Structure 1
Amino acid sequence: MAAASVWFCRENRRKRLFIFGDGAGDRAMRIWTPRSCRGDCGDVVGEDKALTERSIMSWSNPFILAFITTFFFVSSFEFLLSSATMDTMTPGQSLIHWQVLISAGNEFALGFFSPGESKEFYVAIWYNKLPTDPQTVVWVANRDEPIADSNGVFTLQDDGNLAVLDGTKKPSWNTSVSTNATRLVAVLLDSGNLVLRDGETTVWQSFDYPFDTFLPGMKIRVKPKTGSNRLLTSCKKDDNFRLGRLSFGVDGHMQNQLFIWYNLTKTNWQSGLWNGNNFEEIPEVNKNFLFYFTKNSSGDEVYFMYSTIYTYTRLVMDASGQLQFWIWYEPAEQWRMGWSTWRDGCDNPLKCGVYGICDSKNSPVCSCLPGFEPVSPAIGAPGIGKMGAIGRAGCSVVRETSSSTCQI
């Protein structure tokens, strides 16, 4: 029987068990995946010891014991055990929905993830140590083509490409690289970056294809000669990772400032020019010591990065239209917003809806363009848009009106 280690993680007074098998010396798999593990797990069996029913009897409840026993004695167990090393995949190896990669320092994990009430599955990277439920996702592979059920596979194919396949082996995403590499591996790093390597050469990396999250070490980049850039793009909703309408990045023709665009055409926010120390419109960013932007150039590209003194931070292009800087506050075990691009409600491009005008100095702050009127008011609440909440009501070109006020 292959040697293995059993570990316990405690979360909200619940014990959660997972196993690493190391029978081949370089192979491992997590069978029982905790939703989150704070890193205070202990080796209760010990490495290089044969894992038997007797050795885990005192540690496992009946359900987990039955679960483990089943996996040890079914014929496919050795195949599952050899599917991937802890942080690395080689060509031909795969992950299924309960398996994960974990970076060498346990900082990040990669696996299948289903957000909120969604029944769709994405291959995602999330913080592995933070006790959040659900996990805080920082990158998604197949964001526009999620898998409809739990039968998906994440694999490093023999042609050198990472791919997400559904239950019929139809690809929903792949890295689309062309390489003749002979020593190719995929590694999840402690920075949160998933890289394809040929020896010491990086062939592809997830940091070049951002989700909605900007992490320390990432680059928001642009190639001035071609105008091509890499953008953070919001999600449609919290439980729908598909591409939203808000994007953040550097313009191909104005490389000295940062922008937020709506539908990639309308500028909703800009940072002001970079003066070598900070951005003119947001000087508080580099002055409040929360995080620091730096501008660099390399070859044919210009890019901005940020650094911080905090252990866990992320800059997020939120679906509401805000660029938000979040800091992990350990005493309360929660994320706290340290900065946002919104200074008042009218910074939200969606606040007054379609054909609406926002003026924070007026009361009400929203009005309709001439020739438009409020969307039908709700019963018993004159003047309130039928869609209700701020940022959801709007104005409709039903008929000319004598009054342009549209209170929402």
Structure 2
Amino acid sequence: MIPIALLIILLSCFCLDFAVAIDSSITSSQLIRDPDAILSNGSNFKLGFFNPADSPYRYMGIWYDMPSEKAVIWVANRDNPLKDSSGIITISEDGNLVLVNGQKEVLWSSNVSNLVNNSTSAQLLDSGNLVLRDNINRVIVWESFQEPTDSFLPGMHHRIDQRTGKKVQLTSWKSLSDPSTGSFSAGLIHQNIPEIFVWNDSRPYWRSGPWNGQIFIGIPELKSVYLFRHNYTFGFANDWTFFALTAQGILEERFWIKWKDNWEVGFLNLRTECDVYGKCGAFGICNSQEKPICSCLEGFEPKNAEEWNRGNWTSGCIRRSKMQCERRNITGKVGKEDGFLKLNKMKVPDFTEWTSPATEDECRDQCLKNCSCIAYAFDGGIGCMVWRSINLIDIQRLPFEGTDLYIRVANSDVDEKGKKDVFVSPLIKGMFALAICTLFLWRWIAKRKEVIAKLSATNVNTVKLQDLPLFQFEELATATNNFQLSSKLGQGGFEPVYWGNAVKRLSQASGQGLEEFMNEVMVISKLQHRNLVRLLGCCVEGEEKMLIYEYMPNRSLDALLFDPLKKERLDWRKRFNIIEGISRGLLYLHRDSRLRIIHRDLKASNILLDEELNPKISDFGMAKIFGGNQDQADTGRVVGTFGYMSPEYAMEGRFSEKSDVFSFGVLLLEIVSGRKNTSFFEDDLTILGYAWKLWNENKILALVDPFLSESSFQLDMIIRCIHVGLLCVQELVKDRPNMSTVVSMLNSEIRDLPYPKEPAFTERQGAVDSESFKQIQQTYSFNDITFTLTAGRD
């Protein structure tokens, strides 16, 4: 038998480490005495007493019941701490939930009036909400969700009391060791269009931009947020996720990673200096991608040039020339109308007003006619936004999505290059456009009849060209300097690509080229998506067959990603934008377009980059269109690029959406690592094998491109991308996610990711001696040129 003394010692040690969890209800007879605690019914949350780090004081609080470090989401007596462990949580004689110390002094109370004695009880719900119920009327009379501290949880609502004006706000802790009320607060304002603000004392510190029904314009990546306009309520609906306002004024999205047993940080409201409210002052625009980050709007100049040149931009900018409507009010003379400066991808300024015009043209017209209107914007979810006779403050150019903003400028500031979008009467514009269209239509019909006749003569009539513009060979020869090498951008599987816009010229020496040419015309002419390259037209004259695409000034992804001198341009934000864009382009091909299309040759050289490094999937010569109910197909002619092909496709000729998913996974790992999949990795591993080895050794950061070292604050997102990449390259088709799931994983809409299984092709194999390929005749290259595998079918 265990001696009594030893048993007492063991029980004492146990009690030092663990509080006793009791039923989730509190009544006048059932109380909580420090160090006891109660659990919510689903055991998600715990209510009890805690010490912050390095603090001698005790606090009544609620936290997630996780084995890792406490994630405290609510503190009752934050400004009135317990100095010892004598705290008791109970129901008082007046029916309120209270915290008292050993001297029976009330340190905190729910403070509800007109309660009936012995009629109430409190309960910790599995949402983390502590509620006080009137058991007679069966209603909740108080809840912690309406008196939050620094955390915002799923199911919590940001209500504004329209009668009293009182609103729910978060307030930061003073420090990690002091939960008393700090200097930062955060909440929703609804002057006209809802926005989230963070304040430093009473001064704005950060602003989300207006809500358009789906996103806050200033934080388009935060798509998990939703808002209910009808009752001024704000909330979000992802489990195991919450937002916390730190002592430094940073609004963090925190989510639970089950396999790590830890909380990770996702979204941060302050990612760059430009996120600080009014960084560039009035009429200044902030762009974190430029140096210096602040500049004046065109038509404006620094108000204090000396301070501006020293990097202090808070004084802002002033207008160089008076607007026409201002001059007319002073002199009575009528001059040229004012114009508008168009700014793309913007977080619009503060003090937005919503007005009634239902179209963008009406919005513009109304602003132009009102001299007090100095800017406007139109968003499909909001409608017409205007700014009147006020300094435009907190203007920011966003690295990803944003809204077009039009700034009113004097006509004298409209430059010759047409950077300003000058207002012209819709009637005049319509008449001019009609005349131009009539001329071009007449020429277009004549040319089309001629080309279709030629196509019929050459038996190339499998494609409908009725909706595709046609170009003359002479025009393209002139545009490409007669197809000189100096105009050549690169080489595709069957054709060179020239700078023109971008002209793909079919190689006459290729037997397969004609089929791929016609397939590409048929596929790409039916597609429209921001992450797919746009086909502008084609040319079919004699033996010449050419496709004309929009020109991508930054060429292909591989030209930057694998160049040690150029890859510095690809910081993590740009790389993630590329990853996300490719994923959305693939999702469109697989699920959202009129046709279900499998690309079959996704790789870095087939991702083109526009002037802002936005990705566009190109080269649809190998693409396959699926029928409505078709999930996969077999082929005796395997096409693709070594290193990107899925195992079932390379060895058996079976392909599906999951084949593209596999290629995407390889491409994702390349983007994160900055290395080609054909590079030499240790132990003769492929990039998939190397990533898998590091993952299992908990050394996955060794895969990350050293050029991303400055992105350490986003390591959680980088690791998530590697995790998604490994899920995409799993050997079995059924284990890989589809692109819809991939997009949700990348956007953190799916928080808990499954643990990946071992990828295919973890070890490097010879070109022709692999047992897996011994029955396949191959012509291939590595990473930059498409190859064809021809295999006999049973």
TM-score of the superposed pair, with normalisation by structure 1: 0.63
**Which residue among 193, 213, 234 is the counterpart of 1:304?**
234
Mapping of residues 226-305 of structure 1, within 5 Å: 226-251=164-189, 253-254=191-192, 256-263=194-201, 265-286=202-223, 291-298=224-231, 302-305=232-235
Give 2:35's aligned residue: 98
- Counterparts in 2 of 1:127 and 1:66: CA distance versus 1, 3 Å: closer
Structure 1 residue identity aligned to 2:130: L
Q: Which residue of 2 aligns with 1:219?
A: 157
Q: C-alpha displacement at 1:318, in angstroms?
A: 1.2
Counterpart residue number, 1:78: none
Deviation at 1:278, TM superposition (A): 1.6
Query: What amino acid sits opposite 1:297 in the alignment?
Result: H
Structure 2 residue 136 is the aligned partner of structure 1 residue 201? no
1:65 Cα shift?
Answer: 4.0
After superposition, residues 70-81 of structure 1 pair within 5 angstroms as: none
CA–CA separation in structure 2 for the residues paired with 1:239 and 1:187: 28
Counterpart position of 1:109: 46
Alignment of 1:136 onto 2:71: yes
Q: Does residue 1:343 correspond to 2:278, yes or no?
A: no
Give, in whole Å, the separation in 2 of the partners of 1:283 and 1:115.
35
Where do 1:317-328 residues align within 5 Å? 317-328=245-256
Could you list the per-position Cα deviations for residues 160-219 of structure 1 after superposition, in whole angstroms to 9, with x for gaps in the alignment?
111111222221110111212654111011100111112331011110100100000101
The answer to whether the 8 A contact 1:94-1:156 is kept is yes
CA distance in 1, matches of 2:172, 2:75: 12
**1:47-100 superposed Cα distances (whole Å, 9 cap, x missing partner):** xxxxxxx7x99xx9662246799xxxxxxxxxxx9xx95100112432221111
Q: Which has more strand, going by share of residues?
A: 1
**Residues of 2 paired with 1:142 and 1:152: CA distance?**
11
- Pairs within 5 Å for 1:159-178: 159-178=94-113
Q: How big is the shift at 1:345? A: 3.9
Distance 1:366 1:315, change over 3 A: farther
**Distance change in 2, residues 1:279/1:67 (3 Å):** closer
Which residue does 2:729 correspond to in 1?
none
Shift of 1:272: 1.4
Q: Which amino acid aligns with 1:339?
A: F
**Structure 1 letter corresponding to 2:79:** D
Aligned to 1:314: 242
Partner secondary structure for residue 139 of structure 1: strand
C-alpha RMSD of matched pairs (Å): 3.4
- CA–CA distance in structure 2, aligned partners of residues 138 and 109 of structure 1: 10
Residues 278 and 67 of structure 1: CA distance in aligned 2, closer, same or farther (over 3 Å): closer
Does the Cα contact within 8 Å between 1:185 and 1:196 map onto a contact in 2?
Answer: yes
Q: Does 1:333 align with 2:261?
A: yes
One-letter code aligned to 2:227: T
State the identity as a percent.
36
Residues 97-141 of structure 1 show CA distances to partners (whole Å, capped at 9, x for unaligned) of: 11111111111110011110100111000111x1113x1101110
For the residues of structure 1 that align with 2:311 and 2:33, how far apart are their CA atoms?
A: 52
Matched residues in 2 for 1:125 and 1:68: separation? 22
Instruction: Check conservation: 1:221, 1:249, Cα contact below 8 A.
Output: no
Instruction: Say whether the 8 Å CA contact 1:87–1:103 is kept in structure 2.
Output: yes
Give ranges in structure 1 of 5+ residues lacking alignment.
1-53, 70-80, 352-357, 371-408
Aligned match of 1:189 in 118, 125, 137?
Answer: 125
Aligned residue number for residue 369 of structure 2: none
Amino acid at match of 2:132: L
Secondary structure at the aligned position of 1:221 is classed as coil
The 2-side partners of 1:121 and 1:66 are apart by 20
Considering only CA atoms, is the larger Rg found in Structure 1 or Structure 2?
Answer: 2
User: Residue type of the partner of 2:166?
Assistant: S
Unpaired runs of 5+ residues, structure 2, are 280-285, 294-308, 315-794
How many residues in Structure 1 have an aligned counterpart in Structure 2? 287
Q: Which has the higher helix share?
A: 2
Q: CA deviation at 1:252?
A: 5.6
Match of residue 147 from structure 1: 82
> In the alignment, what sits opposite 1:63?
9
Q: 2:72 is aligned with what amino acid?
A: V
- Seen in structure 2, the aligned counterparts of structure 1 residues 292 and 186 have a Cα distance that, compared at 3 Å, is same
**Inter-partner Cα distance in structure 2 for 1:61 and 1:285:** 54
Residue 88 of structure 1 corresponds to 25
Displacement of 1:227: 2.5
SS at match of 1:245: strand
Q: CA deviation at 1:292?
A: 2.5
Q: Which range is displaced more, 233-242 or 277-286?
A: 277-286
Taking a change above 3 Å as real, the CA distance of residues 252 and 164 of structure 1, as seen in their structure-2 partners, is farther
Q: Residue 392 of structure 1 corresponds to which residue in structure 2?
A: none
Q: Flag the structure with more relative contact order, 1 or 2, with Cα contacts below 8 A and sequence separation at least 6.
A: 1
CA 1:68–1:113 in structure 2 vs 1: closer, same or farther (change >3 Å)? closer
1:323-358 deviation per Cα after TM superposition (whole angstroms, max 9, x unaligned) = 111111111111111111112145458x9xxxxxx9
CA distance in 1, matches of 2:310, 2:244: 27
Q: Which amino acid aligns with 2:133?
A: R
Cα distance, 1:231–1:209 mapped onto 2, change above 3 Å: same
